[in-house]
Structure 1
Amino acid sequence: MVEGGQTCDRRLVIHAGLGKSGSSAIQKYLRDSAGDLRCADACYLGMYLERGDPLSGAFASADDLQRALSDDPAIEDRLVALLTQRIQGRPGIKTFIWSHIGLAVSAPLMARVIARLTPICKTEVVLYFRHQASWLVSAYLQWGVKHKANTGPIRSFSEWLPEARSRGADYRQVIESWREAIAPQDLHVRSYDLAADVVTDFLTTMGLPIPPASDRSNWHYQTPDAAVLTLYRLYQGQNDAEAPPGVLQRALAASGVEKKRYREVDPASTLPAGLEWTNFVERFEADNAALARDFGLILNAPSRGPAQDPQHAAPAVVIPALLDMIIAMERRIAALEKRLKAPDESIS
């Protein structure tokens, strides 16, 4: 079949997620490897079809597309129009790749979009799944804590679990909905747990060139360290609305804290207290009596021991991260001050 001079031997590959199953690694590779993809007559359309010339009706961000999937009554027409323009606008490309985790739970909508795109391309869909327990923990830390997707206080893990269904937690329902949306041979259900490297697995599944062995170096996003997650909890816990990580994430990245790993340090005082303190003081009585007798040096025993730790101290795990942020900011401020002073010094 022919439309606009293009035959339907062209294909659209939709990487629909799930999120927290290697999607960031796949997206990063696709963003960074335009040259390798072009050699295979392939191109990456982005997360929200943003890669290419600006188009009318385009989405402003991946979050904008995520909202539109559920809130925009014209979303079907909008997606068909954008995808048609992207595909027909690149006559030398045979494989187009689109990756957005919100598509995992949008099979009925995408079935209609895919059907309308049939005259210009065939479509294949790739889904990745990991064990439910590890997926739910990772998903909670992402959407329950770091990018708080609910209003009100941060919810506990058990309180958040019912929300996981909207992210694809019911694997059977996700798979069956896609089996109804697309031909079985065009649906690729993959195990994240069995993939030594999810990027290589994705490329192999899609028949695209494979990068050199990476020993998981393609992994783009890892669950933040406990110290960093505690900072997110403290920050997001003050927001009653849905709260993207925004400013805090930029500060963590700029200060080198975001991907650092911290060791646990007990900040509790190791100084003696109570009877231990009394016994410690008494150890010096004989020596001090001799000092008084021999040299007239009179030393008075302290009347009380060191101050005790507060009962509700701030979570100690965040302190090293905060110190790193403060030091990083101090260095940046010092560098700026030096640059500001440089003209005056050159004049003198």
Structure 2
Amino acid sequence: MMRRLIIHIGMGKTGSSSIQKSMRVSNDKLQAKGFLYLGLMFENLNIPINYSWHRVDGWSNFISLNKSQANSELAHTLQYLDDHLDDSIHTLIWSNEALFDRPSDVISALKSISSRYQIIVVGYLRRPDKWISSAYLQWGLKDKSYIGPIKTFSEWVSDKPYTVSPKLDAWSALSERVYFYNFDDIEDVSIHFIKCILELDVSAIKPVRENDTPPPAAMALFSYYNSFFNEKNSPNRVEQLLQKTGCYESSPSSADFNELIPSQEDITVYLNQCSDELVRINKYLINNNQNELNMDEVTHKDLHITQSDINRMLFKIIVELNSEIETLKLKNK
């Protein structure tokens, strides 16, 4: 029996974290049904082969290798699994949104094991206005992924073109079983992946949401915190504090945020730059029986918030921290 290898490749900001968490928390149930979730970089495996990139954050290790070596190690891992897995495992699942932009880093390995596996590639396409806004909030403000002062949307987006169709072409050349879906047509991407890709019942494999965009006040605090750093900066320290104090649970009423976030004019300018690419994407979707990306109305999410709302949230955090300090003082008396 030829096993299936389902490779979920993103694109980024299309619910990949939710799919991955859904697979991770239901791993035992998946295995009972013949599915093995490999993780982001095969970190879920317990096998004698242990390459440096077999870890949840192993993508940077993988792409730092000579491409020939990286592909050899990837092919070797998949060959080993095919040779040693129990016959009850009929489908392997690999999910990593970083794959979408870098097909050339893995294509050689995947082609070399195509005689062993029925390779199925799955991706989701998001309209550019929603994609670029979500990407900026994530990597421009929350998880500062660049060196230098905090950037406005216009500054950050200047080298972020919406280049999707070349990746579609590259992935489509790998296999006849390459499927891209219109993300904006799907209510819950985890449910879609479980029901339509794995063909399982969501009552057995529970879909989970992960990495939703925080409310505007929390995003404002991320931007203020990151403004202290000239270097790249992880959101972990602040995120834990905001979650712990309930700042993720509800959004204060918003009015004026600040000048960092994109305006409707910014989004419209970006969309105009994407017009040719949109034609190519919609042609692909139509040819594959998907609804085209509906761009009749420009989407602009209002993220503005008043300074008083931000101050209110900051005060809530201060009160919480003060309470913890007072508790520690009592314990140490």
Under a length normalisation based on structure 1, what TM-score does the superposition of the two structures give? 0.72
Whether the aligned pair in 1 keeps the contact of 2:42 and 2:55 (CA below 8 Å) is: no
Matching residue of 2:287: none
1:196 matched to 2:187 = yes
C-alpha distance in 2 between matches for 1:50 and 1:70: 16
C-alpha distance in 2 between matches for 1:213 and 1:115: 33
C-alpha distance in 2 between matches for 1:130 and 1:333: 45
For this pair of structures, how many residues does the alignment match?
Answer: 280
Matching residue of 1:346: none
C-alpha distance in 2 between matches for 1:172 and 1:250: 37
Tell me the CA shift for residue 194 of structure 1. 0.9
Tell me the CA shift for residue 319 of structure 1. 1.6
Tell me the CA shift for residue 161 of structure 1. 1.8
1:59 matched to 2:49 = no
Indicate the RMSD between aligned Cα atoms, in angstroms.
2.7
Whether the aligned pair in 2 keeps the contact of 1:105 and 1:174 (CA below 8 Å) is: yes
Matched letter for residue 44 of structure 2: R
Q: What do residues 78-131 of structure 1 show as CA deviations (whole Å, max 9, x unaligned)?
A: 322333344544323111111111000111222211112224322111111111
Q: What do residues 30-81 of structure 1 show as CA deviations (whole Å, max 9, x unaligned)?
A: 111123312320021111211132642142754441x235432132223223
Matched letter for residue 139 of structure 2: W
C-alpha distance in 1 between matches for 2:124 and 2:17: 12
Matching residue of 1:236: 226
1:44 matched to 2:37 = yes
1:256 matched to 2:251 = no
Gaps of 5+ in 1: 1-6, 267-313, 342-348
Gaps of 5+ in 2: 257-305
C-alpha distance in 1 between matches for 2:106 and 2:29: 28
Which of 10, 13, 30 is 2:6 aligned to?
13
Matching residue of 2:144: 148
1:77 matched to 2:77 = no
Matched letter for residue 90 of structure 1: L
Which 4+ residue blocks in structure 1 deviate beyond 6 angstroms? none
1:102 matched to 2:98 = yes
C-alpha distance in 1 between matches for 2:312 and 2:18: 28
Larger CA deviation: 32-41 vs 330-339: 330-339
Matching residue of 2:202: 211
Whether the aligned pair in 1 keeps the contact of 2:52 and 2:61 (CA below 8 Å) is: no
C-alpha distance in 1 between matches for 2:207 and 2:216: 22
Under a length normalisation based on structure 2, what TM-score does the superposition of the two structures give? 0.75
Tell me the CA shift for residue 339 of structure 1. 5.5
Whether the aligned pair in 2 keeps the contact of 1:10 and 1:122 (CA below 8 Å) is: yes
Matching residue of 1:319: 311
Matching residue of 1:129: 125
Larger CA deviation: 114-123 vs 125-134: 114-123
| Secondary structure at the counterpart of residue 106 of structure 2 | helix
Percent of aligned pairs with the same amino acid: 25
1:31 matched to 2:24 = yes
C-alpha distance in 2 between matches for 1:211 and 1:319: 42
